[in-house]
Structure 1
Amino acid sequence: MIKLVLDCLLLLPLLLIFLLESLLKSFIPKKRKSVAGEVVLITGAGHGIGRLTAYEFAKLKSKLVLWDINKHGIEETAAECRKLGAQAHAFVVDCSNREDIYSSAKKVKTEVGDVSILVNNAGVVYTADLFATQDPQIEKTFEVNVLAHFWTTKAFLPAMMRNNHGHIVTVASAAGHTTVPFLMAYCSSKFAAVGFHRALTDELAALGRTGVKTSCLCPNFINTGFIKNPSTR
C-alpha cells in the first residue's frame, strides 16, 4: 500500500507536466509529418499492432512493404491496405533468420525500391519462469525482438543515410523499462530494443545524418494474441 501511494505521488508531477504540454500543443499544434508516397516497411504486419499500423499508413497514402512469417495473415493485411487505396507488397519473411532478412531486403530493393520508413515491429513472447523457458525459446525471443532490428537496419539504413532522409521506428514495450515475473526473456529483449534505439539515435547524430529520424514506441501490454487477457497495475 505504501509503495502504491509513493508511486502515485511520483506520478502526479509527471501528469502535470504532460497536461501542460498537451494544453500548449492544442493552441500551438506541431505540423504533422507527411508520409504520402514514402516506402514504409513494417515487420510483423500480419496481425496485431503491425497490422493496425499498416492500415494507418495506408490511409496516409504510403507505399507499403509488409513482412510476416504468416502467409495468410500478411496477405489479409495487404488486401485491406489495397482497399484503403494504398500500394501494398506482401513478403513472407522469418525475422528470426538473418539470411532470410537480408535476401528479402534485396528483393524489396529490386521490386519496390529504397525503404524510407522502417517499422521494426515483429516480436515474440513466451510466458514461463526461467527454468521452464526452453533454450530455443530464449534464443528466438532475442533473434526476433532485437537482433532482427540490427539486420533490417543494416539492410535499409544506408539508402536513408545517402539521401539524409528516412525514419526508423523501434517498437519496444513498457517491458523495456520495467520487469514482469515470468517474462524474463521478453523483458530482457525489450530492454535491449530500447538500448538499440538510443544508441542508433546517438550514432546518427554523431554522423551528422539529421534527416534520418528515429522513434521508440513502448506500449503497455495489449491483447494481440500472444498473451491472453494481459493486465498490470
Structure 2
Amino acid sequence: MAKGTRLSGATLLVTGGGRGLGRRLALGAAARGSRVVIWDVDAERGAAVRDEIRAAGGAADSQAVDVTDNQSVKAAAELAGPVDIVVNNAGVVSGRRLLEAAEQDIERTMQVNVLSLYWVTRAFLGGMVSRRRGTVVTIASAAALVGVARQTDYSASKFAAFGFDESLRAELRAAHTPVNTLVVCPYYIDTGMFDGVRTRWPRLLPILHEEQVASRVLDAVEAGRRKLLLPPVVNLLPVLRILPVGVFDRVMDVLGVNQTMDHFTGRAAGRTGGNTGVAHPLTEGTRDPMTD
C-alpha cells in the first residue's frame, strides 16, 4: 500500500465544497488539523463553510471558482498556494434519459464531471511532484463501474473519471513519483438531491450518509489507499461485466440497480441549479446523489 498523506498540517482543497459531501469533507479535514481551501461556484455557500470552520477554531479559505474554466482555475490556484491534497468533488447529474436531456445539460455534465478533473489536477500536480508528496482524490461513483439507466451522460462521465484516476496513477508510477491517487465510488448518498429514490435491497445496497462517506474518504487518504468502493458489495459490480450480456442484464434487474430511478418523484424544492439538469446547470457543489 502506498504511503498516505497526513491530514494534520496539510492543505486540502475540495471542489464543490459549499455543500453535500464537499462540505463534510471540508469540515472533517479541518477537524483533523488541515488547512482547508473551499472552491465552489457559489461564493456565499463556500464562504459559509469557511466561516463554519473558522468558528470552530480551524483554518480555512474559500474562493468562487468555475472549475470548467481553465483560466479561472489557474488564477484561483495561484491565490490558494501549495496544496497537499486535491479532492475533485464537484459533480452534476441531470437524471434524465438520453432523449429527454437538454443538449446544454449533457455538455455541462461532461465539462464538470470530466474536463474539470484535468484543469484542477494540472493546477496543483506540478507542486506535488516537486515536493514529492500529496494525494489526488477523484470522487467518481458506483455508476463508474456499471452503466445506469436514466443517467447515460452521467454514467459515461463517471466511467471517464475512473479512467482519469487509473491513467494518472499509472503515469505517476511510471515516473517513480510518490504522489498518491484515490478514486472513490459510492452508491447513492442521502444528499436530498433526488426525492423518492430507494433501492430494492436496502441492506445490500443501502443509501449512504454524507458524514460516513466523508470520514471513510479521509481515512483512505491517510492510509494511502488507491480505491474506495462503498458499500463493500459495490466491489462486485465490475466483476459482473465479465458475464455474458444476457446474464449481466438479468443480474442487474434482480439487484434493481436500474430500477432505483423508477421511484424518482422529483428534484428537491428550491434547487434549480448545479446538477439538477434544469434552469442553469453550473458547478454548484455536490448535489450528486451517487457521489456526495
TM-score by length of 2: 0.65
Structure 1 residues 115-155: Cα deviation after superposition (integer angstroms, max 9, x where no partner): 11100000011011111111111111011111101001111
| 1:178 positional shift | 1.4
The match for 2:170 among 190, 202, 206 is: 202
Q: Which secondary structure does the structure 2 equivalent of 1:55 belong to?
A: helix
Q: Which secondary structure does the structure 1 equivalent of 2:180 belong to?
A: strand
Cα distance in 2 for residues equivalent to 1:146 and 1:225? 23
Cα distance in 2 for residues equivalent to 1:170 and 1:87? 23
Q: Name 1:88's counterpart in structure 2.
A: 60
Q: Name 1:35's counterpart in structure 2.
A: 7
Cα distance in 2 for residues equivalent to 1:100 and 1:126? 24
Structure number with greater CO (CA < 8 Å, separation at least 6) is 2
Q: Name 2:204's counterpart in structure 1.
A: none
Structure 1 residues 193-222: Cα deviation after superposition (integer angstroms, max 9, x where no partner): 000000000100000102x11111111111
Q: Which secondary structure does the structure 2 equivalent of 1:218 belong to?
A: strand
> Superposition pairs for residues 100-179 of structure 1, below 5 Å?
100-108=72-80, 113-179=81-147
| 1:228 positional shift | 2.4
| 1:170 positional shift | 0.4
Structure 1's consecutive aligned runs of 4 or more residues displaced over 6 angstroms after TM superposition are none
Q: Name 2:18's counterpart in structure 1.
A: 46
| 1:100 positional shift | 1.6
| 1:76 positional shift | 1.5
RMSD between superposed Cα atoms in Å: 1.5
Cα distance in 1 for residues equivalent to 2:119 and 2:86? 12
Cα distance in 1 for residues equivalent to 2:78 and 2:5? 28
Q: Name 1:67's counterpart in structure 2.
A: 39
The AA in structure 1 aligned to 2:148 is: V
Structure 1 residues 5-43: Cα deviation after superposition (integer angstroms, max 9, x where no partner): xxxxxxxxxxxxxxxxxxxxxxxxxx9853111111000
Distance 1:116 1:32, change over 3 A: closer
Q: Please tell me whether Structure 1 or Structure 2 has the larger radius of gyration of its CA atoms.
A: 1
- Is 1:224 equivalent to 2:221 in the alignment? no
Residues matched between the structures, number: 198
Distance 1:200 1:226, change over 3 A: same
The AA in structure 2 aligned to 1:100 is: S
Unaligned runs of 5+ in 1: 1-30
Q: Name 1:21's counterpart in structure 2.
A: none
Q: Percent identity?
A: 38
Cα distance in 2 for residues equivalent to 1:99 and 1:229? 39
TM-score by length of 1: 0.81
Cα distance in 1 for residues equivalent to 2:125 and 2:154? 26
Cα distance in 2 for residues equivalent to 1:230 and 1:171? 21
Does structure 1 retain, via aligned residues, the 8 Å contact 2:5–2:134?
A: no
Unaligned runs of 5+ in 2: 201-292
| 1:231 positional shift | 2.9
Distance 1:143 1:80, change over 3 A: same
Distance 1:32 1:166, change over 3 A: closer
Does structure 2 retain, via aligned residues, the 8 Å contact 1:47–1:224?
A: no
Larger proportion of helix: 1
